[in-house]
Amino acid sequence: MQLKPNNAIFSLFLRQIESMTAILLLALGLVLLIIGSDWLVKGASGLAKRYQVPDIVIGLTIVSFGTSLPELLVSLLAALKGNSDISLGNVLGSNIANIWLILGVSAMIFPLVVKRNTTWIEIPIALMSAVLLGLLAHFGFDSTPEQSFLGRGDGVILLLGFAGFMWYIIRLAKKGKEGVVPDADFVPMHGGKAALFILAGIAAMGLGGKWCVDNAVILAQSWGVSDALIGLTIVAVGTSLPELATSAMAAYKKETDIAVGNVVGSNIFNILWILGFSTVISPMRFRDEMNFDFAMTIGSALMLFLFMFIGKRHQLDRWKGALFVLTYAAYVFYLIQRG
């Protein structure tokens, strides 16, 4: 007598295989993120020292753009598919994680000294970018009292803001270059080699970030977690993993300007460049349910600014970093309770 296969047991076996594969790829993705972040920091700092460009400029540009690639990929694809919730949720969630989780962890590794320009100009720009996004979403060209909306005109305004930020960075680079003191112990890195490290680091983090996000989503869905919660937590944190790996590695190497500039620059890039570009491609509906997450985006940037004047001025100490991480944990707990 031939026994029929037990479909339930077979399905359970397949799910176990899928979960184990997802866990393996997730772990490999994390390894790629760590290796890629090391290459990116090494290449970026080498490039900065060779051409006497301030580390903060490198952190605000090359490193920020490289670590923002996962957010750009996710938001752009979501915009093309007309899924505004993913685009907006990814950016808002990533910006919150960047400050409370990434800067928090980095400060716990090594206290982060923040330059005066960063305190008074770049952090406020990140804060004003979030405020501008909220104003455009609720009072922009295509918004109505009944429905908040980000239209193409709003996207153009965000892109103009990004152009203004890049103009500021160019001026900062020219001004800062004159005051850079060459490091006597620095062995010059060839420009081509530094560029290779940067490109290889970005590629490794891009692949690692994709593996982390894709397989974290597979695991979450297999555990019965809602898509909304996945977007605000797993996808947002997953696309921020390059920033986490890069800033943590930079803090470990005491390259604090790159650690801070990476996060602040990424937050500005995420709103002005990524959301601006995505909105021009496909207008987005801003649901009222996202107002809380938008408020947390502004709150995290405001908290970072205020902490520059509490305790040691212009420095994120370990206790401040720990408080950031605890605040982020409370935010995620709320999201889980909200469902």
Q: Burial letters for 288-299: b for 16+ Cβ neighbours within 10 Å, e otherwise?
A: eebeebbebbbb
Alpha helix ranges (H) inside 140-235: 152-177, 191-222, 227-229
CA dihedral 22, 232, 318, 252 (to 10 degrees): 40
Distance of alpha carbon 330 from the chain centroid: 19
Q: 318-338 and 291-307 helices cross at what angle (nearest 10)?
A: 170
Quote the pTM value.
0.78
Distance in angstroms (rounded) separating the CA atoms of residues 175 and 46? 19
DSSP SS3 for 257: helix
Pairing of β 148-150 and β 284-286: antiparallel
pLDDT in tens, the chain (339 residues): 454 556 667 677 777 787 888 888 888 887 887 788 778 878 877 777 777 777 777 777 777 777 677 777 777 777 776 767 777 888 898 899 999 999 999 999 999 988 888 889 999 999 999 999 989 988 887 777 777 888 889 999 999 999 999 898 888 777 765 444 444 444 567 778 888 988 898 888 778 877 877 777 777 777 776 656 676 777 777 777 777 887 888 888 888 877 888 889 889 989 999 899 888 888 888 777 788 989 999 999 999 999 999 988 889 999 999 999 999 999 999 988 876
Q: How far apart are CA 51 and CA 304, in angstroms?
A: 31
CB 150 within 8 A of CB 135: no
Unique residue bearing structure tokens 């405020």: 131
Please tell me the chain's helix, strand, coil percentages from 3-state DSSP, rounded to the nearest 5. Answer: 80, 5, 15
Q: For residues 281 and 191, what is the distance between their CA atoms, to the nearest angstrom?
A: 35
Specify burial of residue 3 (Cβ count, 10 A radius: 0-12, 13-18, 19+). exposed
Q: What is the DSSP letter of 289?
A: G
Nearest to 182 by CA among 51, 21, 322, 282: 51
